[in-house]
Every structure is written in C-alpha cells, then in structure tokens.
Amino acid sequence: MGKLRQTKKSRWPSAALLLVAAVAMSFLACLITLPVPVRAGGSKTLRPNGNGTYTEFENVIPGGIAHWEAVDETSADGDTSYIKSETPDDRDTFALSDPNIPLSSTVNSVTVYAVAKKVDKGKDSFYIMIRSEDTDSRSDALEVADAYDEFSYQWTTNPADGQPWTVENVNALEAGVQVSKGVIVTQIYVVIDYVPFDFSISASHSSLTVQQGSSVSTTIHVELISGRAVPVQLTGIWVGTDPGGVTPRFLPPSGSPDFDSTLMFQTTAAATVGTFTYQVIGECGVQVHTINVELEITELILPAAPTLISPENGITIDTRTPTFDWDDVAGAISYTLEVATDNNFSTIVYTQTTIESTATISETEKLSYGIHHYWRVRGTNAAGSGNWSSTWGFIAKLTAPKVLSFEIEAGSQYTNSTSVELTISARYSVDMQFSSDGVIWGGWEPYQTSKSYTLEAPDGSKNIYIRVRDNVGDTGQIVRDLIILDQTSPNTTHSLAGNLDANGYKGSVVVTLTSTDAYDVESTNYRIDNGEWQTGSTFVISSEGEHTIEYHSTDAAGNEEEIKSFQVKVYTPTTFPLILLVGIFSIIAAAVVVVSLRLKPPSPKKRLKMVLEKKKEALRLKKEAAVKYFKNGSIGRGTYDELIGKYDDRITGLEDKERALRARMKKKVKKKVKKRKKKKPGEATERLQSIKKRIGRV
C-alpha cells in the first residue's frame, strides 16, 4: 500500500531557505542538549551506496561517476550532480546503506524521497519506485516543474506480498525512479519508520512470606510492548543482604513475550530470618527491565490445621473418584490426606501424600459405592506434622441402582408350577422388591441373585415386576418379565381307519392320535403291546393278532397326560382285494401328511394369536403407566417417559411381526388357490392308475 507525498520545500537554489535551515539546525541543537528522555529507534534515513538492478538513465552528470554517486548527497546539490533521461520507462534503482535496525523491530513504513525537475519546457513526469524481493512497485505519475522540487511516496506494507514490512525486507531493499516523459533527479533517499522491540515485567505477588525449610513462589509475567517478540532472559540478584539458605529459581528461565515464569524461593531450615529484596532482571540485548520482590523469612513452626473445601460435609457426590481440595497452609511443604469408613479413622481405605493442596482418587482406587466416607488432612514441614483438619463426611455414588438382567425360570416361556425361580443381576443394589402388576408392591427384601416366587392361579400369562434400591434409598427403574402358567394337561384321542368287519381289521389298521391343549403340545407318545415308547401321532399296525395300544401327550409346560389305552384286532384275509390296497395306501399317504403337519412348528395362525395377546398386554401396561403418572402420581416423569418408550418399542416390534404373519398367511392362501386352478381334471384318475400298477407289481 502506498501514499503519495509531494513536498515543495523550495526552488533550487534558495539562499533564504539555506538561512532558515541554518537557524533551525541551531535551534534543534539546543533542544538536544536538554534532559528530555528519547526512546531509541523511531526512523532511519538510508542513502544510495551502489547501483541496483537497473541503470537505464542515459545521462549521468558529472561524467565518469556511477549512477548512484549522482544522487547520494546528504543535501541536494542541484545541477552539480544528477541523472537524466527522456526515454519513457527508463529505470534507475540503487542499493541502500545499512539501516542498523534491530531485527526484532516493527517496521511501520518505507518512504522514498526524490528531488527532481523537468528536462525542458513542457510537461514532464516520472515515478518513484522500489524493488523488493524481485518485485517492482512504483508511485503514481509525478509531474515535475522547471525548478527542483522534493517528491515522496510511502509504502506501509511490502508490495511484494502485501504483508507488513520486516527488517529483513528493508535490508534488501532497492529504491529509485522511472521515467514517464522526462526527468532530471539530483537526490534520492529513503526514510524507514520503525518501532524497536521492548517489553515489561511484573509479578503476581511482589511480597512473599515463607517459613524456614519451606518454599514459596510468584509468577513473573513478561509482556510485549512493541516490536517483534524475541527471547527475554530472566535472572536476579539480592539487593542488599543475601539471606543465605535461599535458592531462587525461574521456571522457565527465558521465553518470548508474552510468557509467564514461576519464580520459586526454596529455603532451608537454616535460612536467615528477616525481610530481603530480590531484584528480577529481564534482559534482551540493550533492553533491560527490573522488578523487586520482597521476601520475608519466618521462623520454622509446625503447620496449622488445613481448612477443608470439598467434598463438603454431609453431601452425596456422583462419583467414586472424587477430588479433595483444601486451603494452602503457610509453611507446609507437603500434605497427608486420609479417607476412612468411620469417623475415628480406624478403617482407612485411602491415603495420599502430596505437595499440592488437592488430591484425586484414581480409577483403580475408587471408593465403595454408597458407603459413608470420612476425610481429613494435615500439613508437614521440616519441623514435623501439624494438627489434623476437622473431619468431613460424604457418600460416594456414581448412578442410581439398576437391574441389569431379570429372568423367570431361566427365560422359559412356560411353567406348570406356581412356584418359579427368579434370576436377578443388579448394580449398586442392597434391596429388591416385587410386584405382579407394577402397582401393588411387596415389601423390600435383601438383594440376592436368585429367589423363589409364587405365581397366582389360574393359568395364563403372568407378569413379574422388579425394582432395586441402594443403601441411601435411591430406587432404580422397573424391569418386567413374563411367563405362561399352564397346569392343565393336554387331551389326546384316537381314531382308527381300515377295513373293519366282524373278525377285526383286515390286513392292517391306521391309528391316528389327536392331541389338544390350551397352548402348545410338545409331543405325543405311544407304544404297542408294551413295546418301546415312540413319538408320533399316526402309525399303521399290520401284524396279525389282538394288540394293546397305550398313548399320552406332553405340552410345552411339561404337563403329562395320563396314559390311555385301547385294543384292536388285525387279521390276514385269504384274498386281498385290489380296491382295499388302494384304500390303505391312500390312508397311509394321508397319515404321512398328518405326521408331517403335526411335527411342524406352530402354524402362522397360532403364532399370530400369541403376538396379538402380547400386543394387548403391552397396550394395557402403557395405559397403566399413564394412570400412575397423570392420575396417581406414583411415578416420576423420567420413569414415565422411559416406560412409555419401552412399551412403544415393544408394540412397534409386535406390530411388525403381526404384519409379517398376516402377509405370510395371505400368501399361503393365494398359493393354494393358484395350485388348485392349475390342477388338471384327469389328475386324480391318473394317480389312481399309478397306484394300481404299483400294487400289481407287489
């Protein structure tokens, strides 16, 4: 960024101006002798001391000298020496003298001055230019007159990159002029405006007190005032008497402003008692600043009892790894913390020695949940340990107690006994409580991982609710599990199929066992003539003679039906009509179908019924939670929101299952209809002929 300055100090030459200048110089010389504090730095004037990148001006007066020597004079000498050009865009740039500005200074601006006039009558103009980091930059066109005038142009940032100037930029700078129409230049110089590096130092505490054998510290703050930050070294000396037995130390001993350093005074038990002055010295080159810190050393005595801050007395905290805090005690070089489960500290569960007035229990040493703890602190120095602080108590907790898992009969779906076994896993629990409806609860009882529980008759779906509490009385959220009570045995009947006459069944008989139950039949078993028990519901008896068949069924709850029995007689006829064989094979084929159907899992229709029952139960519980919160006020908002969320999730899941089962049933019906449509009218006849052929081969 540049700024144009055109200063018409005088027409050259002017005797009157020379006279005024002489008077002014004399006046300034008088001022300099006055005792006015002058800050180092401010501005530096640089003059050409060599040719730069460009030497394109065609005339140098007088002849035989370098271009820069024609414009380097301290006072402009008019036509005695100059450079001249009438060729547009001709350039002359010059190397500059060393500014001797500290590298830590801040450069505010670079201003180039040129004393110039036109070549002949008419309008002439030129540009002031600089070259920085191989980049040329110039002013606007400056119009010159018949007599010499002084012109200037200022750059507040480096035009090469648009960034603030640095001393390094200035050291490599070239300055000069460029022709627009024509110009004569007799003098060029550059003024650098800068602010040198400076800093200040201060102490957080300028007056300290310490006992013999202890330490004390203050913070030394070093702040940048001007210039660029460079390292400042911190040292110190005793002003007057050296106390002896005292070691001062800076941590860190140096840094670039702004920065803080801790000044610590470590005393021995033999340190001299009294008040002493320590001078802190901040030094960077010629810049030196000091500050005094007063240190009072007192006689060594036992530390006073600390004042406790936190955890506060009598509160419950939400962590098992608390941080303990207490006030600093003058003269204490370390502290001992004790934590116990009794206020007499006969059972200490944690102890720590620290030089700080705070201590935190680690995760590996965390306190017991919900237990009343007590804590105290005392200070120690070279004279020994002081008195204990007062004793404060607190209870450490992390979260409310929680049931982690809860199952009835190890997660079984059915039971045939009203006495069931509950399995419980809970966290931070000392008591537990049960309910069959979530409203009316039994009494609190000690927490244990298993419990016998009695279900209420009659048969049906049974809910058991559980909640736990910790040793400070906080109650966790309610958890529920359900099981189906089924104490009714299944009922099994039998049917016979075959060619029956007065002598019995001819050739063979097909036995079909049909079992019904309120829920699920697990298995149907039978045996023939006291043989081995077999599982199945359809079988064929073809051996000749009178047979005794026994059978019974067991449901999913484990209820076993009483054994039933019947007798059947089979005889072998002398002839075996073909049509009877066809009938038997048809019956066997049907029996196989029945067996396969009986061994399949519950039908979609039955599973849909179970899903609808569970959905109905979830809707009832959701309504019940609303009554507890809005009407009875027996549960809080948090518990209500959690229960509603839980029941909504369950209802959503059951509705998904319901839709899937209905879709499956619908698809199955469509498939059957489609299959029947495709069946050919003569298919039954063809199948019958095939069976007859097989019977003939037999």
pLDDT value at residue 574: 63
Query: Do residues 47 and 150 both lie within one domain?
Result: yes
pLDDT value at residue 601: 61
Distance of CA 579 to CAs 224, 509, 576, 583, 612, Å? 118, 15, 9, 6, 48
Select the more confidently predicted residue: 602 or 101: 101
In a domain, 695, yes or no: no
With a cut of 50, say whether residue 230 has pLDDT above it: yes
Residue 675's H or E segment, with its range, is helix 637-678
Lowest-confidence pick of 151-155, 347-351, 667-671: 667-671
Query: Do residues 127 and 81 both lie within one domain?
Result: yes
Q: Token pair of 350, please?
A: 């944690």
Query: Do residues 154 and 12 both lie within one domain?
Result: yes
With a cut of 60, say whether residue 578 has pLDDT above it: no
Percent of the chain residues topping a pLDDT of 70: 86
Q: 476: closest CA among 636, 359, 278?
A: 636
Q: Is 463 exposed, middle or buried (0-12, 13-18, 19+ CB in 10 A)?
A: middle
Residue 303 β-bridge partners: none
Q: Please count the structural domains in the chain.
A: 6
Q: What pLDDT, in 10s, does the model give residues 529-561? A: 999 999 999 999 989 999 999 999 999 999 999
Q: Is 659 exposed, middle or buried (0-12, 13-18, 19+ CB in 10 A)?
A: exposed
Query: Do residues 382 and 464 both lie within one domain?
Result: no
Domain that residue 126 falls in: 2-195
With a cut of 90, say whether residue 247 has pLDDT above it: yes
Q: What pLDDT, in 10s, does the model give residues 444-471? A: 999 999 999 999 989 999 999 999 998 7
With a cut of 80, say whether residue 274 has pLDDT above it: yes
Query: Do residues 424 and 375 both lie within one domain?
Result: no
Single out the residue in 559, 593, 627 at which a domain terminates. Answer: 593
In a domain, 698, yes or no: no
Single out the residue in 534, 566, 593 at which a domain terminates. Answer: 593
Place 160 in a pLDDT band, splitting at 50, 70 and 90.
very high
With a cut of 60, say whether residue 95 has pLDDT above it: yes
Q: Token pair of 230, please?
A: 């460079």
pLDDT value at residue 18: 38
Lowest-confidence pick of 210-224, 436-450, 637-651: 637-651
Average pLDDT over residues 684-694: 49
The structure's pTM equals 0.41
- The three-class DSSP label of residue 3 is strand
Residue 43's H or E segment, with its range, is strand 42-46
Average pLDDT over residues 289-299: 94
Average pLDDT over residues 425-439: 91
Q: What is the mean pLDDT of the chain?
A: 85
Single out the residue in 141, 166, 195 at which a domain terminates. Answer: 195
pLDDT value at residue 369: 82
With a cut of 90, say whether residue 609 has pLDDT above it: no
pLDDT value at residue 293: 96
578-599 burial string, b = 16+ CB within 10 Å, else e? Answer: eebbeebeebbeebeebeeebe
In a domain, 555, yes or no: yes
Q: In the chain, how long is the greatest CA-to-CA distance?
A: 166
In a domain, 689, yes or no: no
Supply the CATH number for residue 96's domain: 2.60.120
With a cut of 90, say whether residue 654 has pLDDT above it: no
With a cut of 90, say whether residue 218 has pLDDT above it: yes
With a cut of 80, say whether residue 240 has pLDDT above it: yes
Alpha-carbon Rg for the chain, nearest whole angstrom, is 54
Query: Do residues 11 and 114 both lie within one domain?
Result: yes
Q: Token pair of 378, please?
A: 């005392």
Lowest-confidence pick of 424-433, 570-579, 619-628: 570-579
Average pLDDT over residues 659-664: 83
In a domain, 167, yes or no: yes
pLDDT value at residue 451: 93
Residue 632 exposure: Cα atoms within 13 Å on the Cβ side = 11
Lowest-confidence pick of 238-247, 250-259, 593-602: 593-602
In a domain, 599, yes or no: no
Place 677 in a pLDDT band, splitting at 50, 70 and 90.
low
Query: Do residues 114 and 34 both lie within one domain?
Result: yes
In a domain, 598, yes or no: no
Q: Where are the beta strands (DSSP E) in 28-74?
A: 42-46, 48-55, 59-61
Average pLDDT over residues 338-345: 95
Query: Do residues 472 and 408 both lie within one domain?
Result: yes
With a cut of 50, say whether residue 697 has pLDDT above it: no
Average pLDDT over residues 396-412: 87
In a domain, 685, yes or no: no
C-alpha span between 190 and 96 (Å, rounded) = 8
Cis peptide before 13 (omega within 30 of 0): yes
Average pLDDT over residues 308-331: 91
Query: Do residues 323 and 351 both lie within one domain?
Result: yes
Query: Do residues 27 and 91 both lie within one domain?
Result: yes
With a cut of 90, say whether residue 4 has pLDDT above it: no
Lowest-confidence pick of 162-166, 207-211, 633-637, 642-646: 633-637
Query: Do residues 90 and 169 both lie within one domain?
Result: yes
Q: What pLDDT, in 10s, does the model give residues 248-267? A: 999 999 999 999 999 999 99
Average pLDDT over residues 15-42: 38
C-alpha span between 150 and 153 (Å, rounded) = 11
pLDDT value at residue 689: 55
Place 675 in a pLDDT band, splitting at 50, 70 and 90.
low
pLDDT value at residue 653: 86
Contact status, residue 428 vs residue 395, Cβ threshold 8 Å: no
Supply the CATH number for residue 240's domain: 2.60.40.10
Query: Do residues 186 and 253 both lie within one domain?
Result: no
Q: Token pair of 325, please?
A: 């805090």
Q: Token pair of 436, please?
A: 């069959």
